[in-house]
Homo-oligomer: A and B are copies of this chain.
Amino acid sequence: MQQVADRAKVSISTVSFVVNNTKPVTPETRERVLQVIDELGYRRNRAARALASRKSRILALIYPMLDHRNNHAFVESAATAAEERGYNLVLWPLHSDNVTTEIASLIEAGFADGVLLMEVQLDDERVSRLREAQAPFVLIGRTRELAGIDYVDIDFERTTQTAVDELAKLGHRDLALVLEDLRGTPLAGYAPPIRTEQAFREAVAARGLAGTVFHVAHDSGSISALPAELASSAPQTTAIVSMHDAASLALLSALPRRGIEVPRDLSIVTIGTTASLAALSQPPLSTYEAPGHVLGRAAAEALIARLEGRDGPATQVLVPCALHPGASMGPAPARA
């Protein structure tokens, strides 16, 4: 920086003002400085910058991310959005045994300026800790209590309503919802299936449709038992809304053997999956695709906005899933 200053015949401070755009500088001076910077290949040192400004320009993304399927997009787009604004995203492994200490040290030790938290539970200890520690944070997801909290999340309620509407429009009167049974897993209390179940029950009730809910554990036994269970406890079902990927695929391959063709006899539509997963099946699943990239970016941007002092009201963004057509959804069969 000193070299740049000397060569451009200005002070070191002026160089700083130029590279940071932090105080007005006459166009000529600025031009001169920028040119010298270019000639010399100068790059400012992040550590020194962080030390002097007391800002690390690092966002911590807390993991473990237990749900391995749909997180890629969030992470990737958050990292990109951060980078575009001069921040960087680090993966922060949070061990559940000492959440409090770790969160405090993360911020207090000046390592990260703010935190991104995914896979939020309805009542999430980590959120309470973040508030206590006064750490700037943004959720990708929602807790039960939302006052004053910045979050971006999938609009499961609206997506579910849309899906039910769409199916109703196709003539379906008997729907089923398939959810992952998370009891006893670390993800018990994970909000999306809970919100979706409630939205589903309300939606079918409001429209006078029948709706059965199946909670299916993640093990192969429970999954392969589903088709039989469906046939016995809700045989008149003509459309399934599924948030359980393994179950969706299992249904798709098991039903034909029972003489049920998809989508001729039964429609299946999934919620919150990725298009690439949907494409793995035959026929490709009709999917309300999780807007991962949009949300990851929105979260990073919201956090940075907070960090840079635009305080205003909380950012609270809900994005519904968009329908990725596929070929597993069709009109209801003529009623027996």
Q: Mark A40-59, 1 if CB is under 8 A from B, else 0.
A: 00011111101100001010
B residues in contact with A284, CB < 8 Å: 220
> A228-270, CB under 8 A of B: which get 1 and which 0?
0000000000000000011001101110110000000000000
Q: Which segment, of A11-19, A62-70, A163-171, A314-322, faces chain B?
A: A62-70
Verify if A140 is at the interface (C-beta below 8 Å from B): no
A92 close to B (CB within 8 Å): yes
**Cβ distance A173 to chain B, nearest Cβ, rounded Å:** 28
Are A83 and B88 in contact, CB atoms less than 8 angstroms apart?
no
Residue numbers in B under 8 Å from A246 (CB-CB): 279-280
**Residue of B with least CB distance to A49:** B47
* Contact between A280 and B249, CB atoms less than 8 A apart: yes
When the two chains form their complex, are residues B88 and A76 in contact, meaning their CB atoms are under 8 A apart? no
Which among B47, B220, B224, B256 is the interface contact of A47 at CB below 8 angstroms?
A: B47
Cα-based distance from A76 to B280 in the complex (angstroms): 24
Segment touching B, from A104-112, A144-152, A190-198, A202-210 = A104-112
Q: How far is the CB of A150 from chain B (nearest CB, A)?
A: 21
- Known contacts: A90-B58, A224-B282, A276-B68. The answer to whether A43 contacts B105 by CB under 8 A is yes
Flag if B88 contacts A89 (CB, 8 Å).
no
Asked if A79 is at the interface of the complex by the 8 Å CB criterion, the answer is yes
Whether A91 sits at the interface, judged by CB under 8 Å, is yes
User: What's the tally of chain A residues with a CB closer than 8 Å to chain B?
Assistant: 50
Complex: how many Å from CA A58 to CA B89? Answer: 11
Can you name the residue of chain B whose Cβ is closest to the Cβ of A54? B47
A111 and B75 CA atoms in complex are apart in Å by 20
Chain B nearest Cβ from A42, distance in angstroms: 10
* A79-B91 contact given A109-B46, A220-B279, A257-B256, CB 8 Å threshold: yes
Docked Cα-Cα span, A109 to B47, in Å, equals 9
A45→B109 contact, CB < 8 A:
yes
Say how far A2's CB is from chain B's closest CB, in angstroms. 16
Is the Cβ of B47 less than 8 Å from the Cβ of A280? no
A281 at the interface (CB under 8 A from B): yes
> Top 3 closest A-B pairs, CB basis?
A47-B50, A79-B91, A43-B109
List 15 A-B residue pairs with CB atoms under 8 Å apart, sorted by A's residue number: A44-B109, A46-B50, A46-B111, A47-B56, A51-B51, A63-B76, A65-B72, A88-B92, A88-B111, A90-B90, A220-B279, A245-B280, A249-B249, A249-B282, A253-B253
Interface residues, chain A, CB within 8 Å of chain B? 43-48, 50-51, 56, 58, 63-65, 68-69, 71-72, 75-76, 79-80, 83, 88-93, 105, 108-111, 220, 224, 245-246, 249-250, 252-254, 256-257, 276, 279-282, 284
